[in-house]
């Protein structure tokens, strides 16, 4: 999964948790000392938050930070020598991109 899909996935999770907390974007922004437009950009998947921002957002909507990133995972890039065959753990993407479990 490329970074734009990660951002969109995170944004949907943030939007859902904010709504469950009965907070507007403006209320959450005020609570966390962030700009309201930043909350909107995160929810629309236009930005990927830093770790400290994820922690702030989770505290603001009163969930464990894991709730905001649940389902996202990273698969390391696997390089196979020319002419070689890789047989390893797991299956699926081997291009080193994050992806969401469905």
For residue 20, name the pLDDT band (cuts at 50, 70, 90): very high
Structure-token pair, residue 43: 């929810």
pTM: 0.73
Looking at residue 1, what is its pLDDT?
Answer: 66
**Closest to 94 measured CA to CA, from 76, 74, 80, 81:** 76
Taking the CA atoms of 70, 16, 57 and 95 in sequence, report the sign of the dihedral they define. positive
As a whole number of angstroms, the distance between CA 22 and CA 14 comes to 12
| pLDDT one-digit tens code per residue, 29-55 | 999 999 999 999 999 999 999 999 999
Nearest in space to 46 (alpha carbons), one of 86, 14, 82: 14
Residue-range domains of the chain with CATH: 3-71 (1.10.260.40)
Assess whether pLDDT exceeds 60 at residue 90: no
Mean model confidence pLDDT for the chain: 85
**Per-residue pLDDT, 77:** 74
Q: Which long-range contacts (CB under 8 A, 24 or more apart) does 93-98 make?
A: 97/1, 97/2, 98/1, 98/3, 98/6, 98/72, 98/73, 98/74
Both tokens of 11, joined, read 């944004």
For range 57-64, the mean pLDDT: 97
What pLDDT does 89 receive? 58
């Amino acid at each position: 999964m490329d970074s734009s899909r990660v951002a969109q996935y995170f944004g949907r999770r943030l939007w859902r948790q904010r709504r469950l907390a009965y907070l507007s974007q403006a209320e959450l922004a005020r609570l966390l000392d962030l700009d309201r437009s930043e909350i909107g950009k995160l929810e629309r998947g236009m930005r990927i938050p830093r770790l400290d921002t994820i922690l702030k957002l989770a505290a603001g909507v009163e969930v464990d930070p894991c709730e905001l990133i649940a389902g996202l995972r990273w698969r390391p890039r696997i390089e196979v020598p020319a002419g070689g065959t890789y047989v390893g753990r797991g299956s699926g993407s081997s291009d080193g991109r994050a992806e969401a479990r469905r």
